[in-house]
Amino acid sequence: MIEEQHTVDIQSTDQALIEAYREGQDALAYSELVRRYQIPLYRILSAILSDPDQAEPACEKLFVRAANRLHELHDPRGFHPWLIGMAKDVAGDFEVDAGVVAPLSRPQLLSAANLSLHAGKQVVADAVRVALSQMSSQQRTMLTLVELEGNDPADVAKAMGIPLPDFEVQLEEARSRFVDLLTAPGAGTTPPAMDGVPPAVTSPADLPAVIGGRYRLGPRLGAGGMGVVHRAHDEQTGEDVALKVVFLGPGTEGIRARFDRECLAMNMIHHKHFVRSHAHGELPGARWIALDVIEGRNLADRMLEGAFEPRQALEIARQILLALGHLHERRIVHRDVKSDNVLFVVEDDAPIVKLIDLGIAKLPDDTFTPETARLTAAGMTLGTPAYIAPEQAIAQTVDGRADLYSLSVLLFEMLTGKLPFRAADMVTLLTMHVSTTPPLVSELVPRPLPVAEAIDELVDRGLAKTPKDRYRDAQEYIEALDAILTELGE
């Protein structure tokens, strides 16, 4: 059924909105709560995390967790302090590697130190970055909530679960430590470059003519904020490849980990529905990978033209399932199946679908480490909320059935021209994946759908909220899909 549309009074109290959400799981009511508090909570997380780039995924995780635990809040009038207390817990989940020094020279952090960043004062910013990176998460939390946000120390102490007298002592210690670190000799200085180290490759202009001893660079095919793609000629095989290079400056540890993970995953697969990897390697300050040159359009661009005919949508989904089955047999979970990552190409004069981007894939030997924790967070948020599985949205362990859920969202979109869930903000969208029943495909198609009941059952099972209620694996999904294709006939 298509859910009835509601409106929400933005003047409502927190208590009224929480009660509306509790009574009917009203996503709009919760969306208004998110709108009210997401900026201050983002600022708090940005300051207390040692890696402020994790503030966005941490904020999203915070509001999804709060939605799932709202029944634990006894007094709705205390929603804001309750959120602050939960923010501390979420920050602790992300604070898995206190030894990593991330760039923290954001204006709000300087404000916490009663400083300002102007032209020519980069030394001050560096000193603040170093000082804050050497403080504990709890100390950064105290300084941020009291000095930056202007909260009453008594309220902050209560939210953090610390008796007020102890809190006041610890806050003063945090202030003193920050000042000591900020004024220490050499604060904010950067070690000099080591002799004999080749100059770093920091931009396309620094790239050598030949990379990896064999790939001679040709014309540029594309570029982004952190990298570039060139057509290159393989002087060993005589073939052309697409050479992708990412530049790894300060603060790009996550990008490096994602790129290395993609290279590792590409080495483990060889399938006609994936782009082929030829080689990968390093340059000073950069990483590169050589891939097949692919010329085609992605599914996201094609969806701008509207829905597919049922048979065509099912056949595309079948090819993607073949690719996913190949991954899952190798205990790899893609975690980012979406329309942008599906390409239409022509091989041997026949159209074929290719699945791309294994940058946040879950690999067979993944264990809980700082890097896999950060990539898991990326998998939750950058794993495109429009397509994300419920268990991934709330940061639970995922297996191949999460990919089957994302594929089902994609199939729903191809059949109807619409996504099953739409919302004005990301947190509400994640919450809908977790708790809202999707409409049936047959309710949204512009004209009567052949074998409508079978298609509804196929997609609805793929979109089940719990993994155990979905298809067991890609092969079982293919068998159900093939039965419908047979029923549709030629």
Residue 449: predicted pLDDT: 84
What's the whole-number mean pLDDT along residues 401-417?
Answer: 96
Q: Is the pLDDT of residue 98 over 90?
A: no
- Digit-coded pLDDT (tens) for 38-53: 777 776 776 666 666 6
> What's the CA gap between 200 and 206, in Å, rounded?
8
Mean pLDDT of the chain: 77
Q: What is the pLDDT of residue 231?
A: 93
d(CA 145, CA 131): 17
Q: What is the DSSP letter of 97?
A: -
Residue 361 pLDDT class (50, 70, 90 cuts): confident
- 95-109, 186-200, 236-250, 341-355: range with lowest mean pLDDT: 95-109
Report pLDDT for 441: 95
Which domains does the chain carry?
14-182 (no CATH), 204-291 (3.30.200.20), 297-488 (1.10.510.10)
pLDDT tens readout for residues 171-185: 888 777 777 766 554
241 by Cβ neighbours in 10 Å (0-12 / 13-18 / 19+) ranks as buried
Cα(18)–Cα(483) distance, integer angstroms: 45
SS3 of 197, please? coil
Give the span between the Cα atoms of 176 and 32, in whole angstroms: 39
pLDDT digits (tens, 9 = 90+) for 227-286: 888 999 999 899 999 999 988 877 677 777 778 777 877 878 888 998 888 888 888 888
pLDDT in tens, 363-372: 776 543 444 4
Strands in 286-291's sheet, in edge-to-edge order, are 210-211, 215-223, 227-234, 240-247, 286-291, 277-283
| Active site residues per annotation | 336
Q: How far, in Å, CA of 160 to CA of 154, rounded?
A: 10
Q: Is 450's pLDDT higher than 90? A: no
Instruction: State the average pLDDT over residues 396-416.
Output: 95
pLDDT surpassing 80 at residue 435:
yes
Decide: 152 and 168 in contact? Cβ < 8 Å: no
pLDDT of 313 over the 50 cut:
yes
Q: Would you tell me how many other CB atoms lie within 10 Å of the CB of residue 102?
A: 18
Residue with tokens 């995953």: 265
Has residue 57 got a pLDDT over 50? yes
pLDDT tens string 209-225: 899 888 999 998 887 66
* First CA to last CA distance, the chain: 31
pLDDT at site 30: 74
C-alpha 64/C-alpha 429 separation (Å) is 10
pLDDT tens by residue, 454-490: 999 999 999 999 999 999 999 999 999 999 999 987 6
Q: pLDDT band at residue 342, thresholds of 50, 70 and 90?
A: very high
More confident of the two residues 354 and 4: 354
Structure-token match 């993994």, residue found = 467
Note whether 141 and 159 are within 8 A (CB): no
5: confidence class by pLDDT, cuts 50, 70, 90: very low
Q: How far is CA 414 from CA 79, 305, 320, 486, 488, in A?
A: 40, 10, 13, 19, 17
pLDDT in tens, 326-339: 999 988 899 999 99
Q: pLDDT at position 77, please?
A: 78
Segment among 58-62, 87-91, 157-161, 416-420 with least mean pLDDT: 157-161
